[in-house]
Amino acid sequence: QQPVQSPQAVILREGEDAVINCSSSKALYSVHWYRQKHGEAPVFLMILLKGGEQKGHEKISASFNEKKQQSSLYLTASQLSYSGTYFCGTEAGYGNKLVFGAGTILRVKS
């Protein structure tokens, strides 16, 4: 079942922060995050495994709450280069298929 992402879209000014959420109705083994710029292929950001760990990538970090079956992606001090569509992908068990959410469109304005 497809995870639910929120919000569907968000507009920021440079320097502002944003949070993108990803929720599943199933127990999760892992959550993957990807970013896709317009007209390009998705690019990997990070994987979080169950255990509630928080991982970071530049000024982008994420957390995974396995009890709530949700993950959040945190973008701090946003830059123009952060614009794009962010997808979460969830895995119900090790080696299970990855199911992607519908995406969150992020636009950063100067």
Partner 1 sequence: NAGVTQTPKFQVLKTGQSMTLQCAQDMNHNSMYWYRQDPGMGLRLIYYSASEGTTDKGEVPNGYNVSRLNKREFSLRLESAAPSQTSVYFCASSEAWQKQYFGPGTRLTVT
Residue 5 to residue 101: CA distance in whole angstroms = 6
With contact defined as beta carbons under 8 Å apart, do 35 and 101 qualify? no
Pick one of 69, 73, 91, 108: the residue that binds partner 1 (CB under 8 A): 91
Q: How near is the Cβ of 17 to partner 1 at its closest, in Å?
A: 24
With contact defined as beta carbons under 8 Å apart, do 60 and 72 qualify? no
> Between residue 8 and residue 37, which ones bind partner 1 under the rule CB under 8 A?
30, 32, 34
Residues interacting with partner 1, by CB under 8 A? 2, 30, 32, 34, 40-44, 47, 87, 89, 91, 94-103
